Chain A
C-alpha cells in the first residue's frame, strides 16, 4: 500500500523530526533542550515506534509528560510578517489562497469516494483499515504541493511554518493521544466494570424514569471521565441498557442504542478529556482559556441531554 497509515506515520515523524532539529538549532529558544527532547522523542515514536520495546516507549511517554509539567516545552521565537506585509501578500494572491486550503477537504472527499477500489500495479494504494484518515494524508500532500507552487515558497519554508503551528499548540498536540492511551490502560485495569457495578448497585433501577435517566446521564458522565463515547457504550449498555431498559422495560434496542451513543457525544462536548475536540482547538485558536470551547458548548450539550432523557422515556412502551 502506498498510502498506508504506516507510511503516513513516517511522513508525520519526519515533520516532527524537523521540528525537533530546528528547535535544537534555535539559539534564541528559551527552553531549547527540553523542547527539542520532547519533539525528538515524539518523532521517534512515529518513525521507529514499532521497532522499540513498548516499555521503553512507556518510559519516554512519562519523560515527555514530566518535560511538559516542568514547563520545558514552550514556543520558540517566530518572526511574523507585519500587518501591512500580511495585507499586501493577501492582496497579491487573493482568492487563489483558498485553493490549496479547500483542496484538503475536497481532495480527501474525492479520494475517499473514488479510490477505495482503485489500485496501482495490483497494489491497493489507500489504507483499507482507515481510508478516511489515509485520504486526509493524500489530500494534505497534494495541497502542500499546490501551496508551494502558488506561493513560490520552498518545502523547507513549509516545514518552518509547520514548526510555528506545532509551537502554537505545544504539548496540547500530544494530549489526545495521551488520553486515548489512558482509556486503554483504564480498560486493561477494569475501570469500566467497576463503574458499572457501582452504578447498578446503588440506584433504584425499578423506576422507569430513573432507569432511563441513569442510562442517558451515565453515558454522558462516563464519557466525561473517559473522554470517549465508544468506551462508555459497552459499559453502560451492558450494565443498564440491555438488562434494565430492554430486558425489564422492553425498550426498542435500536432507539436505545442510538440515543445512548448520542448522549455519550454530549459528554464529549463537556470534557477536557476529549482533548482533540476541545483542548487542541483552544490552543490552535490561541485562546487564553483552555476550556473556552467547552464553555461555548455546554448549553448545547446539556439541552440535548435533557431532550434525550425525555425522548427515550416517551419511546418506552407503556406498561
Chain B
C-alpha cells in the first residue's frame, strides 16, 4: 500500500541515529538532522533557517533553570560546600550509599507526586549535595575510592534524581503530562477524568520505586567487591 503521507522526513531520524552511533559532536548532529529534515520536507533555505531559529527561541525556558542557580552554587562551592557535604554525611557512620539514595529516591518521588518538582535537580541538589554525600558515605565505609567507582556513584546519584522525578510527577493531577493526555483523548472523542489518569499511573510509579530501590540495595552488596576489583585493575602493570 502506498502511504498518503511523505516518508522522506524520516531521513532526519536516520541522521540522528547514525550521528550518535558514529559519535560525531551532538550539536553538529542535531543541527545536521534539522537541516536534512527540513530539506526533505521541501523547505527552502530561509524557511529552514526560520524553523531552526523559531524553535531555538521558543525553547529558551529549558536552559533558564540551568543558568539561574549557577552563581549561587558556584560561590558556595568556592567556600567548600561540596567538601562540607562530604564531611557532614560521614558523621552517620552506619549509613550506606544505597540507604542514602533510597531515602533521596523516596523524597524526590513523593514530593514530585504532590507537584513539588523543584525540590531537587542536577544543578541545585545533585552536584553540590547528593553526589558529594554519596562519595563521602562510600569513603567512610570503604576508604579511598578508585576513579571508576567514584564516577559510577555520581552517575547513580543523577539517575536516582531522574527516576524519582519522572515517576513521581506523572501522578500529580495538575502536571502537564496529564493535561496533555486528557486534552488529546478529548479531541479523539474519549472523555477521561484527570484523576483517573493520575491513579492509573500509581502502579508503574510503585514498580519504578521498587525496581530502582532494589538496584540501590544491590549496589551496597556489590560495592566492596567492585572497589577491590577496580583497585586490582589499577595495580596491574
Contacts and interface: CB of A to CB of B under 8 A. Distances in A.
A191 B68 contact: no
Contact of B180 (A230, A254, A262): A230
Nearest to A265: B166
A195 interface: yes
A269 B76 CA distance: 30
Contacts of A98: 81, 84-85, 129
A188 B79 CA distance: 48
Interface in B157-203: 157-159, 161-163, 166-167, 170, 176-177, 180-181, 184-185, 188, 190, 192-193, 196-201, 203
Interface stretch (B13-21, B137-145, B225-233): B13-21
Contact of B127 (A133, A261, A285, A299): A285
Contact of B13 (A180, A225, A255): A225
Interface in B109-166: 115-129, 131, 151-152, 154-159, 161-163, 166
A58 B48 contact: yes
B56 A147 contact: no
B74 A158 contact: yes
Given A137-B68, A147-B76, A151-B79, A180 B9 contact: no
Given A57-B57, A58-B56, A189 B64 contact: no
Nearest to A289: B151
Contacts of A8: 64, 68
Contacts of B76: 97, 100-101, 147, 151
Given A58-B53, A161-B71, A272-B26, A90 B84 contact: yes
Given A230-B180, A295-B155, A15 B70 contact: yes
Given A15-B67, A101-B81, A254-B196, A62 B74 contact: no
Nearest to B49: A58
A93 B77 CA distance: 12
Interface stretch (A22-30, A102-110, A117-125, A206-214): A102-110
Contacts, number: 439
A135 to B, nearest CB: 7
A164 B61 CA distance: 22
A76 interface: no
Contacts of B30: 65, 175, 178-179, 181-182
B209 to A, nearest CB: 10
Given A140-B69, A181-B58, A185-B52, 8 more contacts: A54-B53, A61-B52, A105-B125, A162-B71, A195-B10, A197-B5, A280-B122, A300-B212
Interface of B: 1, 3, 5-10, 12-13, 16-17, 20, 24-28, 30-31, 33-35, 37-38, 40-41, 43, 46, 48-81, 83-85, 87-88, 115-129, 131, 151-152, 154-159, 161-163, 166-167, 170, 176-177, 180-181, 184-185, 188, 190, 192-193, 196-201, 203-205, 207-208, 211-212, 215
Interface of A: 5, 8-9, 11-12, 15-16, 45-46, 49-50, 52-62, 64-66, 68-69, 81, 86-95, 97-98, 100-101, 104-106, 108-109, 112, 130, 132-133, 135-137, 139-141, 143-144, 146-148, 151, 153, 155, 157-162, 164-166, 169, 171, 173-186, 188-191, 193-195, 197-198, 201, 225, 229-230, 233-234, 237-238, 242, 246, 252-255, 257-259, 261-262, 265, 268-269, 272-273, 275-282, 284-285, 287-289, 292-293, 295-297, 299-300, 303-304, 307-308, 311
10 contacts: A105-B118, A133-B65, A160-B74, A176-B66, A180-B58, A189-B41, A191-B10, A258-B181, A259-B203, A293-B155
